[in-house]
Amino acid sequence: MTILQEYLGFLNSKPLFDNSSFFEFPQFNIESIKKKPFPKNLDITIQENQVLGKRIEHFFEYAVNASEQYKIIDKNIQVFNGKTTIGEIDFLVQDVNTKEAIHIELVYKFYVYDPTIDSELERWIGPNKKDSLLQKVAKLKTKQLPLLYKNETKNLLETMGLNVQEISQQVCYIGNLFIPFSYNTKKIPEINNQCIVGFWIAFNMFTVDNYGHYEFYIPPKRSWMINPQNNTTWYSYTDILVQIKESILLKKSPLVWIKETTNNSFNRFFITWW
């Protein structure tokens, strides 16, 4: 699996909400920086062990700079109070036509849909139940976006020749969503259904009767955005079950790629430990 395959997976990802605003925050139009035709070679330096979040930042930066509409002013701007870090500005981007400076908070998430939870948007949770859509929204509202207007940030940006009052804010919230297996034809309200890229099942549903005739692969997290059809290594049900049990015992829900050998079709799904 290659950096180019990862980048194409990033470009194929969709914004979590399909309207122009994210709650009360304007959304950055990710489609505006998806340059086509796709490049054959990428001038991106990414270390093999860099985590998924950092890889996404590299891809976003590359796509912005490759677009004709925007350019990066700065990224990962650390804001300090004395020697204490109080936060980080993800990206400062300039619209080359209007010269407007934009503070963009970039979010790239994988969520599963738990229909047993009462409130609709609360149902989108991390596959290990350690985070959720609404928890991230709260962090954006109370910490990440207000950071721009802190005195420490204002002073820092002034050294860069920027006036905080002239900087707009946008959120680029990209989602990869997984719904219960039985929901495969249902439309989920309030979110962009183009973000639905697979399904999820509980571990006790991963039986030989249901899945014994498929082939599988567990990608490392850095490769989660890659299309499974690009994979060349596959394991039988018996072999993958050993790997899955190891994750379940650690209370980690693995993302699994699945291949239907009879018609050469592919899908992806989470197997949850809970």
Confidence label for 97 from pLDDT (cuts 50, 70 and 90): very high
Per DSSP bridges, beta strands 84-95 and 70-81 are antiparallel
Q: Band the pLDDT of 59: cuts 50, 70, 90.
A: very high
pLDDT of residue 19: 78
Per-residue pLDDT, averaged over 104-127, amounts to 97
Phi, psi of 186 (to 5 degrees): -90, 145
- Token pair 């204002």 is found at 154
Strand partners, 15: 174
pLDDT at 80: 95
Q: pLDDT class for 7, splitting at 50, 70, 90? A: very high
Q: Would you state the pLDDT for residue 203?
A: 98
Give the tens place of pLDDT for each residue, 182-237.
997 789 999 999 999 999 999 999 999 999 999 999 999 999 999 999 999 999 99
Residue 141 has pLDDT above 70, yes or no: yes
- Gyration radius of the chain over CA positions: 20
CB of 267 closer than 8 Å to CB of 228: yes
Judge residue 142's burial from the number of C-beta atoms within 10 Å of its C-beta, 0-12 exposed, 13-18 middle, 19 or more buried: exposed
Half-sphere exposure (CA, 13 Å, Cβ side) for 245?
A: 7
Cβ atoms within 10 Å, residue 164: 17
The pLDDT value recorded for residue 21 is 72
Residues 194, 17: Cα–Cα separation, whole Å:
9
Contact 7, 44 (CB under 8 A): yes
Distance of CA 193 to the CA centre of its chain: 15
Q: Of 17-26, 174-183, 230-239, give the lowest mean pLDDT range.
A: 17-26
Residue 94 Cα distances to 30, 65, 102, angstroms: 14, 10, 6
pLDDT in tens, 32-52: 888 666 666 778 889 888 999
- Residue 37 pLDDT: 62
The three-point CA angle 69-225-54 to 5° equals: 65
- pLDDT of 11 above 80: yes
**pLDDT at position 43, please?**
80
Bigger pLDDT: 44 vs 171: 171
